[in-house]
Amino acid sequence: MFTHLLVPLDGSALAESALPAASFFGERCGASVTLIHVVEDNPPTAIHGEHHLKSRTEAEEYLRDAASRYFDRKLKVDCHVHTMVEAGVAQAITHHQAEFDHDLIVMCTHGRTGANNLVFGSIAQKIAALGTVPVLIVRPDRSNVPAPAFAVTPMLVPLDGSQEHDPGLAAAEELARRVNGEIHLLLVVPTLATIPGQWEDSTKILPTSTGRMLEMAAEEAASYLEAQRLAVATLGIPVSTELDRGEPAKVIAECAERQNSQLVVFATHGRAGMEAIWEGSVASRALSRVTVPVLLIPLAKQESSR
């Protein structure tokens, strides 16, 4: 599934919240791990109330110590310190794709909570936006440091109603097979009050017609959801489904809590089908509400243009 994990660390205990997840994926996937720290120009004296790493030597010592504390000796763990010359930390990390050939970035985000959005403007969000590699974003619990053991099941997989196989679901299926996990599929159809993007004007001008279109969309979504359930079930994976109405990001967060989901897996933006549901990046909005780790699977450029 994943063969090489890249884990950015800034030297703080909060950033280390990502390490149990990296250890989990490393062991389950037999993947190698690279811990990376970017030495910033004119770094602050402290980060998140802790001492900030200021030199290559200091950073190398810290990464080696973190590797010894969090990873089994059987795993291949490398440490890399990068002196930043790019415009920012996110660019420095994403630009290492060619050098390391990693296929998953594992990191936590230190942003604000609630309505202020945990991810908007953070390094994690920028990395997810800039790169083409899946990103596992772990939300740190400031009251529970160091982080507890990592788990992924049951998984929540929001779908967008596309007729094509959703890449987020494919990743969840592979992961479920490796950990004997369970999957809950969710598809959200908007209401007249929550319809986004290009349909908003139609709602105001032709509310009755738009309402009928939404009802038809709900019927199509139910059929699509059942087809996906059957496909997952044939793989021997325990699977359940849910079709809901409302604002997608809000519904996703509520469903994750209700289902006691340990991981949310979905593509960063939708394709064909109910594309209006995903306008404005549901992934970004959901991340501000979801309290569990999120695995973002980026769509290939040729897919995202469909």
Distance CA 297, CA 269 (A): 9
More confident residue, 199 or 161: 161
pLDDT of residue 277: 37
Question: Which pair of structure tokens corresponds to residue 75?
Answer: 């795993």
Secondary structure letter of residue 52 according to DSSP: P
H or E stretch covering 78: strand 77-83
Count of other CB atoms within 10 angstroms of residue 261: 26
Is 272's pLDDT higher than 60?
no
Do the bridges between strand 4-8 and strand 104-108 make them parallel or antiparallel, or are there none, so unpaired?
parallel
> CATH number of 4-138: 3.20.20.140, 3.40.710.10, 3.40.980.10, 3.40.50.620?
3.40.50.620
User: Architecture of domain 155-304 in CATH?
Assistant: 3-Layer(aba) Sandwich (3.40)
Q: Do 4-138 and 155-304 come out as alike in CATH topology?
A: yes
15 torsion bin: left (phi>0), alpha (psi -120 to 50), beta (else): alpha
Q: Quick one: pLDDT at residue 116?
A: 35
- Calculate the average pLDDT of the chain: 78
Percent of the chain with pLDDT over 70: 70
Identify which of 85-99, 170-184, 203-217, 290-304 has the greatest average pLDDT: 170-184
User: Where do the structural domains in the chain lie, given as residue ranges?
Assistant: 4-138, 155-304
* Structural contact between residues 6 and 102, judged by C-beta atoms closer than 8 angstroms: yes
Using CA atoms of 139, 20, 254, 176 in order, give the dihedral in degrees to the nearest 10.
140
What is the amino acid identity at position 283?
A: A
Q: Which helix (H) or strand (E) holds 213?
A: helix 207-233
Tokens at residue 141, please?
């619990």
**Which of 66-75, 212-221, 274-283 holds the top average pLDDT?**
66-75
Please, what's the b/e burial string for 36-53 (b: 16 or more CB within 10 A of its CB; e: otherwise)? bbbbbeebeeebeeeeeb
Residue 79 has pLDDT above 70, yes or no: yes
**Residues 8 and 92: beta-carbon distance below 8 Å:** no
Q: Count CA atoms within 13 Å of residue 24 on its CB side.
A: 20
Two tokens, residue 86: 């790019």
Q: Per the structure block, which two tokens stand in for 211?
A: 């309402």
pLDDT of residue 95: 73
304: CB partners within 8 A, 6+ apart: 269, 271
Q: Which of 124-128, 174-178, 272-276, 280-284 has the highest mean pLDDT?
A: 174-178
SS3 199: helix
What's the whole-model pTM score?
Answer: 0.82
The per-residue pLDDT for 117 is 38
Position 208 confidence tier, pLDDT thresholds 50, 70, 90: low
DSSP code of 141? -
Angle at the Cα of 273 from the Cα atoms of 269 and 279, rounded to 5 degrees = 40
Kind of pairing between the strands at 294-297 and 135-138: antiparallel
Residue 280's pLDDT is: 45
For the chain, how many helices (H) and strands (E)?
A: 12, 12
Predicted local confidence at residue 92, as pLDDT: 73
